[in-house]
Amino acid sequence: MQVLTALHTDVGIRKQTNQDSLLLKVAQTSVGKVVLAVVCDGMGGLEKGELASATVISAFSKWFDNDLPPLLQNHNWNEIQARWNLLLKEQNQRIGEYGKRLNINLGTTFSGLLIIDEHFFLIGHVGDTRVYKIDSKLELLTEDQTLVNREVQRKNLTPEQAEKDPRRNVLLQCLGASRVVEPQFISGIPTLHTVFMLCSDGFRHMISKEEIYQAFAPEKLMTEQQMKNKAIELVELNKVRNETDNISIILIKVD
């Protein structure tokens, strides 16, 4: 399997700090190419949001280096979800206790994608960062764990109203501030000629689905440089349109 990747993050036009944290790891292993990509959008005011998102990124980085290789050796794909679940709950606990000790509220979202060559992929998800799949169309794989999404499902809001609702930034679930985290998991077998996109919510409020698809359709991304350029282009477009949040994106193309 061939893998092309790119990532870009920007503090945005308003904020003093970038609380988004990203992780992108690619390894050549005995079972083929393995890719881990994670986007975390931290919150909690000032530098604390960064701390929360970076803590989770660092935990997953360590997991990739230390705990994943034996699982790969034994082809234990199906065990990975349980490990992630445990890892996320542990992070929720740790960040939550830290916040309690300092009497502050901090936390982070989490959207992670693991691809094990053509054998397996796993998505884990908490909060409102997102994972999209782009092949012949743009498809949102994760479900926002937000108040407005909940209201849309309860038919109290239309999706259009939800976009404009002042509560659109209110999360139902996040690592560090939820009593019980219930991550969403999706797994399967990756299809080739596909682009996976992970992004923070700052990336998607101001640009349309069509614009995303036009920029990142698989046939348009032939080199990593092209991918990086397109990513920067859309992040800049967001800023021009007055997005105030931090903006982050990871692109992974598998062929």
Interface residues with other proteins (CB under 8 A) are 14, 41, 43, 45-47, 103-105, 107, 109, 128, 147, 150, 154, 156, 165-167, 169-172, 174, 176-180, 201, 244-245
Shortest distance in whole angstroms from residue 249 CB to other proteins: 17
- Taking the least distance from each CB to other proteins, the nearer of 25 and 150 is 150
**Inter-helix orientation angle 224-240/209-216, to 10°:** 160
Q: Of 94, 160, 103, 149, whose CA–CA distance to 125 is shortest? A: 149
The CA distance from 26 to 65, in Å, is 11
Shortest distance in whole angstroms from residue 196 CB to other proteins: 23
The CA distance from 21 to 52, in Å, is 9
CB atoms under 10 Å from CB of 185, counted, come to 16
Shortest distance in whole angstroms from residue 109 CB to other proteins: 8
Shortest distance in whole angstroms from residue 157 CB to other proteins: 9
DSSP code for 146:
B
- Taking the least distance from each CB to other proteins, the nearer of 191 and 242 is 242
- Taking the least distance from each CB to other proteins, the nearer of 117 and 245 is 245
> Residue 204 has which token pair?
């998607």
**Taking the CA of residue 13 as centre, how many other CA atoms within 13 Å lie in the half-sphere pointing to its CB?**
11
- Taking the least distance from each CB to other proteins, the nearer of 1 and 172 is 172
